[in-house]
A and B are shown apart, each in its own frame.
Chain A
Amino acid sequence: DTGVSQNPRHKITKRGQNVTFRCDPISEHNRLYWYRQTLGQGPEFLTYFQNEAQLEKSRLLSDRFSAERPKGSFSTLEIQRTEQGDSAMYLCASSSSGQPNTEAFFGQGTRLTVV
């Protein structure tokens, strides 16, 4: 297994456009998380899936953001009508509910720049 994979690594888009990011977690992990990180800050929780069910969404997540994990494997995060404030690194992480220490494995992230 090559770990958590995210695509694309970088995305530049014009304000108002829609963007979609993909995350492929570690294959045996049933939990998947999306986080957002801006420069000099820690990752900020966005949403969480267990298998295909989206069980929690941050109250900070506007309705322009939507995430799916249709078959309990890969996940997509879509941002509609992007704004400059959406510019950030979007990180995906996965873990197994069977892990006693709940270690999360992060991908390299997708860096979004909205111009």
Chain B
Amino acid sequence: GQSLEQPSEVTAVEGAIVQINCTYQTSGFYGLSWYQQHDGGAPTFLSYNALDGLEETGRFSSFLSRSDSYGYLLLQELQMKDSASYFCAVNDGAGNTGKLIFGQGTTLQVKP
């Protein structure tokens, strides 16, 4: 079967750093993506890792270890607007179709 595991909820204060972990078990793997979704909004792309290591985009960084089937999203200098759900997703599908298998999501609450 295919599964992605991530914590259901995380709480942090403004200005802090938070790490959201994701472990996966899928039949195909072309990379690990992270998406943000605010209540009532569309999922929006944050980052993508195809190879092991750290990718940095502004306040957000994402890490992948293919040998451990593990990745994480690191959010620095948290702001209130970062309160949202965060999903890890495996890029699956034969031939790298871009098909995404999502985790159940982590709800991040940022407190003042």
Contact = CB atoms under 8 A, between A and B. Distances in A.
Interface of A: 4, 31, 33, 35, 40-45, 48, 50, 55-56, 91, 93, 95, 97, 101-109
B100 A45 contact: yes
Interface residues of B, number: 25
B102 to A, nearest CB: 3
A50 B98 CA distance: 10
A41 B42 CA distance: 14
Contacts of B91: 102
A102 B102 contact: no
B104 A56 contact: no
A41 B45 CA distance: 17
B41, B42, B48, B101 — most chain A CB neighbours (10 Å): B42
Contacts of B98: 31, 33, 48, 95, 97, 102, 104
